[in-house]
């Protein structure tokens, strides 16, 4: 079983690093724009390696809802007699530790999995969770991206199509409602934001709200322009989330400290707006991408937000690309 997982992993994470290195050698060290994104290329490996080495930590929230931290994106779990309902699947390398954490939440089988979007750190575990009994639900664009070869330009990375069992069986375009374990689970599509397939998941009665990667808590976020992301769309989606929740809502971000709230989400929105405006102003003045990075338009925010994989320079380039 282990070797088939390893095969799956290597197929899903087929990588062009070697091609990039060959190009670098051939050009005698002159930096192409692609190579200037070296830290981005390392992102996939970094997140995967970190999951492989990471313990899975369970945080109990309320109404039988928990969040599991340590396998890529934050995973929400609702337990009950209808079976375990997961929001996001994490990375396959975490399977033993996720299994242990899920078992500790009770004996109910795994019956449902919602993908907030198609990225590997949220959907790589789809195949084993489907084999374990999960019916997969997602936005139609998530199924589309998982079905074909998917290139993420800013990660300099190609993902091969997911195996059939990993594909969402139920898809929707705008919104969708599930009633499971006595809970209303409201799925909402947000248009182009982090990708073009982002949904949020609201456990209405418990007032627990999973934002997917629309929101990274306390760290600069990634925007995937290759599959339809948009910085303006992300700000708009964040504002829609803020309007849907209240001061009592437990907010689960895609990444970052897994238990958050409305006030922190609002700080994130304000950070995005301020940096978007700073970068847009510099770009409008005719500054190149590198000149914009050199002007440090994120400086006021770096101490708080710039301490994770998306550093200030990379975040500035991502915003520059989208304004």
Q: Are 126 and 113 in contact (CB under 8 A)?
A: yes
| Residue with the CB atom nearest Zn ion in the bound state | 119
CB of residue 119 to Zn ion, shortest distance in Å? 3
Residues 19-38 close enough to bind Zn ion by CB under 5 A: none
Q: In the complex with Zn ion, which residue's Cβ is closer, 181 or 227?
A: 227
CB of residue 120 to Zn ion, shortest distance in Å? 8
Residue 33: CB atoms within 10 Å: 8
219's CB contacts (< 8 A; 6+ apart) are 255, 256, 305, 307, 308, 309, 310
CB of residue 116 to Zn ion, shortest distance in Å? 8
Q: How far apart are CA 200 and CA 224, in angstroms?
A: 17
CB of residue 21 to Zn ion, shortest distance in Å? 26
Candidate segments 127-135, 161-169, 185-193, 208-216, binder of Zn ion by CB under 5 A: 208-216
Phi, psi of 161, deg, nearest 5: -55, 145
Residue 196 in contact with Zn ion, rule: CB under 5 A = no
Q: In the complex with Zn ion, which residue's Cβ is closer, 79 or 116?
A: 116
Residue 174: CB atoms within 10 Å: 11
Q: In the complex with Zn ion, which residue's Cβ is closer, 156 or 213?
A: 213
Mark residues 102-141: x for contact with Zn ion by CB under 5 A, - for none.
Answer: -----------------x----------------------
Beta strands (DSSP E) in 165-241 are: 170-172, 175-180, 183-189, 199-203, 208-210, 216-217
Q: In the complex with Zn ion, which residue's Cβ is closer, 127 or 154?
A: 154
CB of residue 229 to Zn ion, shortest distance in Å? 9
Q: In the complex with Zn ion, which residue's Cβ is closer, 183 or 319?
A: 319
As given in the structure block, the two tokens for residue 116 are 């907030």
CB of residue 69 to Zn ion, shortest distance in Å? 16
Q: In the complex with Zn ion, which residue's Cβ is closer, 183 or 193?
A: 193
CB of residue 318 to Zn ion, shortest distance in Å? 13
What is the residue-wise DSSP string for 186-200? EEEE-SSSSSSS-EE
Among candidate residues 130, 114, 205, 202, the one with its CA nearest the CA of residue 162: 130
Q: In the complex with Zn ion, which residue's Cβ is closer, 280 or 319?
A: 319
Among candidate residues 78, 43, 48, 76, the one with its CA nearest the CA of residue 63: 78
Place of tokens 């087929």: 14
Residues 209-268 close enough to bind Zn ion by CB under 5 A: 213
| Residues making contact with Zn ion (CB under 5 A) | 119, 213
């Amino acid at each position: 079983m282990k070797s088939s997982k390893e095969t799956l992993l290597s197929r899903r994470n087929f990588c062009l690093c070697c091609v990039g290195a060959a190009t670098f050698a051939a050009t005698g060290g002159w930096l192409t724009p692609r190579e200037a994104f070296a830290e981005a290329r390392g992102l996939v490996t970094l997140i995967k390696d970190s999951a492989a080495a990471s313990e899975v930590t369970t945080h109990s929230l309320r109404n039988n809802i928990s969040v599991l931290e340590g396998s890529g994106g934050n995973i929400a779990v609702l337990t009950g007699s209808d079976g375990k309902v997961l929001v996001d699947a994490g990375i396959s390398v975490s399977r033993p530790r996720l299994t242990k954490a899920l078992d500790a939440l009770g004996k109910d089988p795994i019956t449902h999995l919602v993908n907030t979007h198609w990225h590997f750190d949220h959907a790589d575990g789809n195949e084993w969770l489907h084999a374990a009994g999960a019916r997969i639900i997602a936005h139609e664009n998530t199924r589309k991206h998982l079905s074909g070869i998917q290139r993420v330009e800013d990660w300099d990375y190609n993902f091969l199509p997911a195996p059939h069992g990993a594909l969402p069986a139920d898809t929707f375009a705008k919104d969708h409602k599930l009633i499971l374990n006595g809970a209303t689970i409201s799925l909402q599509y947000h248009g182009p934001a982090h990708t073009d397939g982002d949904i949020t998941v609201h456990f209405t009665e418990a007032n627990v709200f999973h934002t997917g990667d629309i929101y990274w808590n306390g760290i600069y976020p990634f925007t995937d322009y290759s599959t339809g992301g948009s910085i303006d769309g992300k700000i708009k989606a964040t504002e829609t989330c803020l309007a849907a929740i209240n001061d009592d809502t437990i907010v689960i971000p895609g990444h970052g400290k897994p238990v958050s709230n409305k006030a922190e989400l609002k700080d994130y929105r304000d950070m995005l707006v301020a940096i978007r405006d700073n970068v847009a102003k510099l770009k409008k003045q005719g500054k190149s991408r590198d000149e914009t990075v050199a002007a440090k338009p994120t400086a006021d925010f770096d101490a708080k937000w710039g301490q994770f994989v998306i550093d200030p320079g990379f975040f500035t380039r991502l915003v520059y690309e989208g304004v």
